[in-house]
Amino acid sequence: MAYTKILTTERLILRKPQASDEADLFAMHSDPEVMRYFSEPPWQDPSLAAGKLAEDIAAFEREDYFRFAVTLKATGEYIGSCSLFSEHRQNRRAEIGYALARPHWGKGYMQEALTALLEYAFVERDLNRLEADIDPLNTGSASALERQGFNKEGFLPERWIVGGHVSDTALYGLLRREWEARRLLVE
């Protein structure tokens, strides 16, 4: 059964990835500034985008993980991705990840996308805990998580080696009860 879940916000649509996202996905993942804190170097080979999309589409349909394409509601333009992965059903836990094309930084799009992703994770997937693994030098990502209510829970030195560069990990977590309490305050 093909999974067709679509999440919407005021300005965005989060949908299953599609082949037409290939050029935009490659542009984003080949940008050294976007990839600065990723666990892989910037892409050099455009064929990586087609392979990643095929993998993501298949995983989405199997419900193995969900890498939503983040698009502008007004134009349909692909501007990034927002992911729910490493879901552990027995413990109702998963990880999140996200990326946004540089021309769209600083406009609040990722906060909108994350708000929709968290609701999907906690309400529709019935998860109890979400986790995020970021480079501690990525202050923008840390700020995005903290604005959503995530707490810094740990630090793992020298966890990743990307392009010969060793980097640390800051671990963030958010419990469903904390998310629900924050939602009540906003409503």
Q: Secondary structure of 80-135 in the HEC alphabet?
A: EEEEEEEEECCCCEEEEEEEECHHHCCCCHHHHHHHHHHHHHHHHCCCCEEEEEEC
Task: Please state the rounded mean pLDDT for residues 146-165.
Answer: 93
Give residue 1's pLDDT band: very low, low, confident or very high (50, 70, 90): very low
For residue range 57-100, list pLDDT tens digits in order: 999 999 999 999 999 999 999 999 999 999 999 999 999 999 99
pLDDT of residue 40: 86
For residue range 31-69, list pLDDT tens digits in order: 999 998 888 889 999 999 999 999 999 999 999 999 999
pLDDT of residue 116: 97
Give residue 161's pLDDT band: very low, low, confident or very high (50, 70, 90): confident
Asked if the model's pLDDT at residue 2 lies above 70, the reply is: no
In a domain, 166, yes or no: yes
In a domain, 125, yes or no: yes
Task: Please state the rounded mean pLDDT for residues 141-152.
Answer: 97
In a domain, 33, yes or no: yes
Number of compact structural domains in the chain:
1
Can you give the CATH number for the domain in which 138 is found? 3.40.630.30
pLDDT of residue 66: 97
Residue 148 lies in domain: 7-186
Q: Distance (Å, rounded) from C-alpha 60 to C-alpha 16? A: 7
In a domain, 1, yes or no: no
Contacts 24+ apart (CB under 8 A), 46-50: 46/22, 49/21, 49/22, 49/23, 49/25, 50/19, 50/22
Contact predicate 50/61, CB 8 Å? no
Give residue 164's pLDDT band: very low, low, confident or very high (50, 70, 90): confident
In a domain, 2, yes or no: no
pLDDT of residue 184: 83
In a domain, 154, yes or no: yes
